[in-house]
Structure 1
Amino acid sequence: MARQRNVKLEALLKECGYTHQELADQVNRTAEVLFGKATQCTDRHVRRWISGDVQWPWSRYLLALQEIFGRSPEAMGFVPRKSSRVPAPPPRPTRVKEERPVRRREFIAVGLAAALGLDAIPSAGRLGASDVERIRAIVPALYNYDHSLGGGALHEVAALALGQVHHALNHCTYGDRVERALYAASGDLAASAGWFAYDAGRQEAATGLYNEALQAGMLAGDGQLQARVWSNLAMQARLLGRDQEALRIGRAAVETRQAKTDPWLMALLHCRQAVGHARVGERVRAERSLVHAETAYGRAKGEPAAWLSFLTPAELTGLAGAAHQALGKHQRAQELTGAALGMLDSRFERNRVYYQLQRAQALLDGGDVEQAVDEAHRTAAMMERVQSDRVRSRLSDLRVQMRRYAGSVPEAADFIEQTRATER
């Protein structure tokens, strides 16, 4: 029988948030519960199951997989031989507590919900300033995780927190001053949840959350929140291929009074506008926006808002690289992106992966295929630690472009094969 890729198992990994190594580790843990001793499953075993090289795993692996996913071998995409049979589970060893694995994203969400103290948000009674501060503290804590984990791990817990804030708004009592502060806090949380959904690839959910944040910003009289949401909507429009719409939205954000009085926000807005102008071929406007961004950043003092904590010199340099890449200046883009990576703080792991992909793209577009493959390999190895559909989409696009070199550059062919599991 010809080898056939196990798309069912591949889909299960994606649904449950497992990387190859994470599933192998879970197989070993589950087998220890089942057999009383660990197996030696590795990521190589998982890759061979998915590629179809192994169509019916050994019994000890098969039983562990059935326990993990709660499905029959055939439902997991395995193909039995004539002599194959589903093995009977062994007697459970005594004094070992049976564990049922939890999906990775759900595990993160549960852990974060507890760490953030969401249960402390009142559901009845009168709300005061301390309650507002408790709600406001959620967003900075979430962004600390976002920088490393990515939005795929956070949008659900942010939505859960937002739901509890909605309940408090509708079932508690409060005065006028607290009411405005509550709307500002809930808008901040909605905008953050929208960003996480955007990063996770859930664009419809992101749009709804952004609209909610805009409404809350108007009710609170919070112009900065509204400018922030306009900026994120512009990014989303650009992601969806609506470049002119993105520029118009971004221009509206730049022209707000709040942006003009907040150099942190203005620097980011001009950087994003620079990328937008570059994407439609407006070189002079793109370069002008980059100059405006540098000028605004030079006026920034103190600490930015939590959602702007990623805006460092490394980020500005990386966005400048993105603008030059869009203008077709691949060598300059590669230099700027490399400089950004050299400056980037270790806590910004998701952004590091993003900019490593940007550098790989610049190298590829500049004709340095082998070095682009090396950079992409390093990126793929790091990507398993973050959950960002936006970043994974970029890797998928890079893989597609590398196919044209697969016949002439062995490294490109190897990269495509080794990252097949990332195909969308």
Structure 2
Amino acid sequence: MHATRNTALVAWMTEHGHSSNSLADAVNGAVERLTGRPGGLDGSSIRSWKAGRVKWPKSATRKALEDVTGLTAVALGFVPRGRSPVPAAPPQDGHGVKDRTLVGGAAAATTTAAAPGTPSRRIGMSDVDRLRVRFVEVIATDQRHGGQLGVERRAAMLADEALNLQNAGSATERVRNSLYACAASFRSSAMWAAIDGCRYDDAKAHMREAQALAEMSGDQTIKFRIWSHTGTMYRHLGRPVDALAANDVARNLNIACRDPLFASLGHARHAATYGLTGDSAAVRRSLGRAQDALERADPDLARPVWMAAVRSGAELETLALAAHFRLGDFERAETHAHRSLTLLGPGMRRDRAINTARLAVAQLGQGDAELAVGTAMKVPSDIAAQHARVTFLLQEFGAALRATAPGSTAAQSWTEHAVAARRTTA
């Protein structure tokens, strides 16, 4: 019997600009982070996956691939041993194999949950706890990769999974509210991934659903996250008035009044938006309030996993960097960049890449081209190629370098590095 080509994997690689060699390198790196030893894949290994000759990779390799893509191995077209492959449905809307795989899976789950005559079961907090574990995984994947379409779709799929449980059996009011909160949490992560990837129409669609789910849940923390993300979305869209209004909704929630750590994040995001307006006095005022609130926050209080960088102070430094960066105050921006890079956790590759790129622009803005190029070269090539905001920042950096130091050794070094990086990720 001939092997069946893995069209789902091929579609994902095409969409994300991966060659067989570049995907092998990315998975090898993820294997090393998981096991401490580099993986042994090469381009021919990936071609065997694409051709369908390897139907189910080994466990460590499979987990590494899922970390790189943000999707399960099954969603990528692999078939667990002992199972028959499921024929792909014909395309309905031109979005590709991966969309059909995920949407088809969600539809099947809904049908199973709601099928007439299916015995009802009791839905409990153990079901909620399993979803919460998946949410932690989504947050970790987002922090590593950020803005990827695979992260967005995985989060949206898990939101549907949480909603499907509402129809799968009987549950207490507490459990149902918790399920709505889980669905809102996943949908807010889909929204954030779309914002981070500059897919703003998709982000708005996720936002509307996330807001509705959060209202049904009554969960203040997830309401705060959604409205805070909404403010960030409008800031990235260049709409500071809407950004401040959305962030005010978050800041006026009870959770921000009860817990200074949430208040700190609200003030810091206000500062980043004021940076967009050029109001340096408002930036300083908001950052001062954010710092005061951070110092008053109880470090031992339990908080959602997505608040970890706020708790450490890394998020305040990142938003202070963003504010001064937009003001064109590159000396202060550089100071906050260094602080943020010191405080960011090792798994936060996306934030580290963005802040490193901003640091390079800030150093160039102060006239130190050689130092700036050395900093920009530290941005990992895979993130530089696949993350929209990092790509834009480095393009901005290259244009400024050519304008301020044309023909210089620094400019030549950056051009050579950029060409080599494109070849590596091609």
So what's the TM-score if we normalise by structure 2? 0.71
The residue number in structure 2 matching 1:409 is 408
The residue number in structure 1 matching 2:180 is 183
Helix, strand or coil: the match of 2:171? coil
The residue number in structure 1 matching 2:235 is 238
Distance in structure 2 (CA, Å) of the matches to 1:24 and 1:136: 31
Deviation at residue 406 of structure 1 after TM alignment: 6.0
1:98 matches 2:14: no
The residue number in structure 1 matching 2:199 is 202
Deviation at residue 375 of structure 1 after TM alignment: 0.8
Distance in structure 2 (CA, Å) of the matches to 1:177 and 1:308: 23
The residue number in structure 1 matching 2:133 is 137
User: Aligned pair in 2 of structure 1 residues 20, 286: CA closer, same or farther (>3 Å)?
Assistant: farther
Helix, strand or coil: the match of 1:287? helix
CA offsets per residue over residues 186-223 of structure 1, 9 Å max, x none? 11221122212322333222222222121111112223
Q: Which moved more, 1:363-372 or 1:351-360?
A: 363-372
Helix, strand or coil: the match of 2:121? coil
The residue number in structure 2 matching 1:392 is 391
The residue number in structure 2 matching 1:340 is 340
Helix, strand or coil: the match of 2:122? coil
Distance in structure 2 (CA, Å) of the matches to 1:403 and 1:68: 42
State the one-letter code of the partner of 1:134. R
- Contact 1:310 1:348 survives alignment (8 Å): no
- Contact 1:150 1:387 survives alignment (8 Å): no
The residue number in structure 1 matching 2:71 is 109
The residue number in structure 2 matching 1:328 is 328
Deviation at residue 230 of structure 1 after TM alignment: 1.0
- 1:56-75 alignment to 2 at 5 Å? none
State the one-letter code of the partner of 1:304. R
User: Aligned pair in 2 of structure 1 residues 265, 64: CA closer, same or farther (>3 Å)?
Assistant: closer
- 1:237-316 alignment to 2 at 5 Å? 237-301=234-298, 302=300, 303-311=302-310, 312-316=312-316
Helix, strand or coil: the match of 2:309? coil
Distance in structure 1 (CA, Å) of the matches to 2:267 and 2:69: 38
CA offsets per residue over residues 280-312 of structure 1, 9 Å max, x none? 011111111101111111122224311212222
1:359 matches 2:314: no
Helix, strand or coil: the match of 2:378? helix
1:164 matches 2:161: yes
Helix, strand or coil: the match of 1:143? helix
Q: Which residue of 140, 144, 148 corresponds with 1:148?
A: 144
- Contact 2:191 2:204 survives alignment (8 Å): yes
CA offsets per residue over residues 54-102 of structure 1, 9 Å max, x none? xxxxxxx9x99988878xxxxxxxxxxxxxxxxxxxxxxxxxx934899
User: Aligned pair in 2 of structure 1 residues 107, 317: CA closer, same or farther (>3 Å)?
Assistant: closer
- Contact 1:198 1:206 survives alignment (8 Å): yes
- Contact 2:325 2:333 survives alignment (8 Å): yes
Deviation at residue 21 of structure 1 after TM alignment: 5.4
Distance in structure 2 (CA, Å) of the matches to 1:68 and 1:196: 27
State the one-letter code of the partner of 1:350. R
Q: Which residue of 217, 223, 228 corresponds with 2:225?
A: 228
The residue number in structure 1 matching 2:93 is none
User: Aligned pair in 2 of structure 1 residues 282, 296: CA closer, same or farther (>3 Å)?
Assistant: same
- Contact 2:109 2:164 survives alignment (8 Å): no
So what's the TM-score if we normalise by structure 1? 0.72
Q: Which has the larger radius of gyration?
A: 1
Distance in structure 1 (CA, Å) of the matches to 2:132 and 2:13: 35
Deviation at residue 400 of structure 1 after TM alignment: 3.1
CA offsets per residue over residues 310-347 of structure 1, 9 Å max, x none? 22223322322222222222112112211222333322
How well do the aligned residues superpose, as a CA RMSD in angstroms? 3.9
